[in-house]
């Protein structure tokens, strides 16, 4: 079996985390550590999907299902009673429903950024995290899509969101960004799902070949589309993946831009801002990476993936979070500058109101979580500390929710006429739906962990040193006939594989 | 264990035959379902031709057609109210105490006359409750009865002749010229606009319709297609 010895300047941190975060021009830092070979990667990852899940999984799943049923019950109550059970009313007609929508769509951004943009930029470290980041994207978009669906008030007529020819001669307003949203989010979901699935095919084949259970073999067999691992299959797979990556890349930027148009094209001070599209996209990537870290840190510890999702991955994600956090901080500040510079009374008032007015706590929660908290990531010791990273990531998760609350609710609370001002107070249904959406997200995510390959095994192997080996006679490293489903014992001594 | 001996699940051979079947089924289903919904659920399929059995075998063909009684003789409120009145037993008996008073078909009316229990007519042109249709607004703007109800003067049993769907209403609300006529011609079932020399019937209708639209001050398209014009 191929092994690489630990490179001398990689001290062990936190007990068993190997420090591969060094930047040394003479040597490429390994992305997979702990002397792992191809077969080890296969074993570690397939075990998670094929073996009986650990006890905590059942506990977590029960908790997630509990929250999901809370969501189901609340939506049922909402459908029976009507949207009056929410806290929204004039003038705050958009509140938790749209805040949660934008929050979840934002989280859905990191997955495609990692899998598409980082792929096109040949950022090899993406391979360890792209699979579950994409899964997170899909599930976050599902959570997001729930909210406009129930926000329409009569969810059984939610299909009116789509321009379907009908005998009422009634169409959505094509000039409204709300309709563009339907297309943007719909396209994003479809392409992300395709991208996720296509990327998973070789790994599903590995699961098929590794599973002992006939039903599992057949199911994984169907979903791996009869993958054989032939050269031709790989060639077409790589082409398809590249094309889908190119297709997804503009979507990463377009979706949240269009979501920001929902606000930016209106006339309301606090919404009517040209900076919104880039600001929203940066915020979405910021929040998305925070959620990836929130999921990755426990997963790597609980499933023994510390050698695959290494400190270097955490470090890189922290850097992305810091960079996008700075863009967000800049956007926050420049909004105040613009308000002052505009010399526009209502614009200035809207921003004063944010900081000192109707709900200053929301603004300060946002500002502390999103602007102050990430600054600690300038320090390498903070980026390499899992505890600090996890805490900062959760600050950002909360901060990004408050950002949407600040933009949506505080802008609506006080607009032009003081006679039409009003406050917003969430009802218990609002809070239950927010909690319930986490239930939906984690139910889907835990099912994903249990049944699908959570690491892109085939891709991870392609960036390991063994894939680019110059073996100098070492039979293991000279091999070129590697198949994704083999175990270390298939090739004792690395003898040439008989033709299949 | 040797890799070449390990059992690996691949699609069995018959899948090669199942695949085209599946593709045809998906494509066929993808065509069939929208076609079924579009035509099967269309108001021209499920609403047009609705002709419920009425408690009295009353013939519009005889009364409105052959005898030429004006619509407003029985549906008297049509010019002044939203609802076009269904005639009471007394209206029927106004003539039928003397005319054809031994007819078998008249039995239920006479029974109602004697007991004082109204005749339970079945509503044919039934709009949903959230659509506020007003007869007087239409009749006084020069929309003929025939435009919505069809040739009632030829119907032995009244049936729904038009779709009465929202798009059908909107079509006319967008271009009312095609259906407008002078107020005194509203109940005329065979009205045709007077055509000038060499003018087609449609061109004549559009010309007359336009004049009437001006004359009766009919609202513009924006008002006529606003949600709250019909849904309040």
Tell me the pLDDT of chain B (232 aa) as tens digits: 444 445 678 888 888 899 899 999 999 999 999 899 888 888 888 899 999 999 999 999 999 999 999 999 999 999 999 999 999 999 999 999 988 888 899 999 999 999 999 999 999 999 999 999 999 999 999 999 999 999 999 999 999 999 999 999 999 999 999 999 999 999 999 999 988 888 899 999 999 999 999 999 999 999 999 999 999 8
Q: Which of A370, A328, A344 is nearest to A270 (CA)?
A: A344
Q: Rounded distance, CA A449 to CA A351, Å?
A: 43
- Cβ partners under 8 Å of residue A2, min gap 6: A37, A38, A466, A469, A476, A477
**Looking at beta carbons, which residues of chain B come within 8 Å of A497?**
3
| Domain assignment of residue A448, yes or no | yes
Structural domain that includes position A232: 60-461
User: What global pTM score does this model have?
Assistant: 0.85
Whether A13 is covered by a domain: the verdict is no
Decide: A300 and A308 in contact? Cβ < 8 Å: yes
> B205 near B193, Cβ under 8 Å?
yes
Backbone Cα Rg of chain A = 24
In a domain, A194, yes or no: yes
- Beta bridge partner(s), residue A92: A89
Domain count, chain A: 1
pLDDT higher than 50, residue A493: no
The Cα A355–Cα A406 span in angstroms is: 10
- Note whether residue A478 is domain-resident: no
Q: Give Dmax (Cα) for chain A.
A: 84
Q: Which of B4, B166, B168 sits opposite A170 (nearest CB)?
A: B166
Domain ranges, ordered by start, for chain B:
17-44, 78-84+125-230
Main-chain dihedrals φ then ψ at residue B143, nearest 5 degrees: -90, 125
How high is the ipTM of this complex?
Answer: 0.74
Q: What is chain B's alpha carbon radius of gyration, rounded to the nearest angstrom?
A: 28
Are residues B4 and A498, on separate chains, in Cβ contact within 8 Å? yes
Residue A480 domain-assigned (yes or no): no
Listing DSSP states for A346-412 in one string gives HHHHHHHHHHHSS-HHHHHHHHIIIIIGGGGGGSHHHHT-HHHHHHHHHHHHHHHHHHHHIIIIIHH
Interface of B with A (CB under 8 A): 1-4, 6, 8-11, 15, 38, 41-43, 163, 165-168, 170-171
Q: In angstroms, rounded to a whole number, what is the distance separating the alpha carbons of residues A227 and A221?
A: 8
Residue in chain B closest to A226 (alpha carbons) equals: B10
Count of all residues that appear for chain B in the document: 232
**Is A20 a domain residue?**
no
Using CB atoms, which residue from A169, A217, A483 is nearest to B170? Answer: A169
Residues of A whose CB is below 8 A from B166: 167-170
Residue A117 lies in a domain: yes
Q: Domain for residue A115, yes or no?
A: yes
Between CA B91 and CA B109 the distance in angstroms is 10
Q: How far is CA A413 from CA A77, A96, A255, A400, B123, in A?
A: 27, 14, 27, 20, 49
Separation of alpha carbons A192 and A136, rounded Å:
11
Tens digit of pLDDT for each residue in A382-423? 998 999 999 999 999 999 999 999 999 999 999 899 899 999
Residue A444 CB coordination number (10 Å): 19
Residue A4: predicted pLDDT: 45
Say if residue A330 is exposed, middle or buried (CB neighbours under 10 Å; 0-12, 13-18, 19+).
middle
| Helix residue ranges, H only, A152-230 | 177-210, 214-223
Taking an 8 Å cut-off on Cβ atoms, the answer to whether B4 and A489 are in contact is no
């Amino acid at each position: 079996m191929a092994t690489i010895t630990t490179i001398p300047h990689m001290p062990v941190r936190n007990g068993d985390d190997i420090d591969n975060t060094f930047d040394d021009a003479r040597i490429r830092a390994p992305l997979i550590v702990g002397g792992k070979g191809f077969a080890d990667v296969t074993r570690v990852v397939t075990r998670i999907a094929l073996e009986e899940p650990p006890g905590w999984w059942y506990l977590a799943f029960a908790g997630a299902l509990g929250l999901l049923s809370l969501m189901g019950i609340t939506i049922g109550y909402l459908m029976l009673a009507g949207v009056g059970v929410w806290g929204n009313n004039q003038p705050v007609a958009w509140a938790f429903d749209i805040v949660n929508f934008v929050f979840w769509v934002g989280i859905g951004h990191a997955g495609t950024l990692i899998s598409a943009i980082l792929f096109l930029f040949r950022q090899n470290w993406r391979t360890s995290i792209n699979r579950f980041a994409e899964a997170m994207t899909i599930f976050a978009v599902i959570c997001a899509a729930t909210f406009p669906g129930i926000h329409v008030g009569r969810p059984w007529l939610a299909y009116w969101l789509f321009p379907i020819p009908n005998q009422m001669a009634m169409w959505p307003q094509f000039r409204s960004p709300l309709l563009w949203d339907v297309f943007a989010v719909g396209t994003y979901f479809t392409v992300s799902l395709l991208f996720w699935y296509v990327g998973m095919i070789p790994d599903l084949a590995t699961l098929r070949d590794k599973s002992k259970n006939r039903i599992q073999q057949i199911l994984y067999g169907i979903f791996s589309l009869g993958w054989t691992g032939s050269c031709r299959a790989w060639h077409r797979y790589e082409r398809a993946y590249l094309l889908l990556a190119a297709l997804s890349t503009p979507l990463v930027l377009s979706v949240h831009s269009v979501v920001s148009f929902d606000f930016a094209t209106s006339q309301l001070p606090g919404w009517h801002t040209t900076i919104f599209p880039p600001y929203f996209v940066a915020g979405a990537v910021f929040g998305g990476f925070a959620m990836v870290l929130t999921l990755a840190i426990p997963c790597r510890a609980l499933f023994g993936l510390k050698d695959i999702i290494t400190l270097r991955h955490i470090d890189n994600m922290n850097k992305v979070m810091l960079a996008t956090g700075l863009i967000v901080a800049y956007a926050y500040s420049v909004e105040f500058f613009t308000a002052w510079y505009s010399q526009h009374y209502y614009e200035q008032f809207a921003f004063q109101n944010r900081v000192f007015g109707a709900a200053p706590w929301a603004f300060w929660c946002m500002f502390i979580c999103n602007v102050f908290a990430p600054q600690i990531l300038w320090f390498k010791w903070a980026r390499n500390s899992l505890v600090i990273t996890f805490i900062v990531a959760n600050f950002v998760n909360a901060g990004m929710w408050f950002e949407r609350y600040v933009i949506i609710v505080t802008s609506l609370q006080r607009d032009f006429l003081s006679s039409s001002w009003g406050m917003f107070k969430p009802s218990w249904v609002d809070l239950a739906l927010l909690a319930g959406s986490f239930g939906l997200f984690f139910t889907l995510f835990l099912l994903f962990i249990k049944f699908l390959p959570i690491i892109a095994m085939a891709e991870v192997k392609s960036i390991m040193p063994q894939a680019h080996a110059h073996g100098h006679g070492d039979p293991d490293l000279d091999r070129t006939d590697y198949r994704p489903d083999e175990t270390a014992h298939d090739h004792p001594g690395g003898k040439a594989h008989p033709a299949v | 264990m040797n890799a070449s001996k390990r059992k690996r699940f691949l699609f069995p051979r018959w899948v090669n035959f199942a695949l085209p079947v599946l593709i045809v089924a998906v494509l066929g289903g993808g065509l069939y379902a929208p076609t079924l919904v579009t035509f099967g659920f269309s108001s021209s399929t499920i609403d047009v031709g609705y002709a419920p059995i009425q408690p009295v075998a009353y013939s519009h063909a005889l009364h409105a057609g052959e005898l030429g009684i004006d619509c407003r003789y029985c549906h008297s409120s049509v010019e002044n109210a939203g609802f076009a009145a269904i005639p009471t037993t007394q209206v029927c008996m106004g003539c039928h105490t003397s005319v054809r008073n031994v007819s078998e078909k008249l039995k239920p009316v006479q029974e109602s006359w004697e007991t004082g229990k109204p005749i339970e007519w079945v509503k044919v042109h039934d709009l949903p409750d959230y659509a506020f249709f007003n007869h007087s607004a239409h009749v006084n703007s020069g929309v003929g009865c025939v435009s919505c109800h069809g040739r009632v003067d030829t119907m032995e049993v009244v049936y729904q002749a038009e779709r009465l769907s929202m798009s059908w209403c909107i079509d006319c609300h967008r271009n009312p010229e095609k259906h407008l006529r002078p107020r005194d011609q509203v109940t005329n079932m065979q009205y045709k606009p007077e055509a000038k020399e060499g003018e087609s019937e449609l061109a004549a209708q559009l010309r007359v319709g336009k004049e009437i639209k001006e004359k009766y001050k009919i609202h513009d398209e924006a008002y006529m297609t606003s949600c709250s014009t019909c849904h309040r």
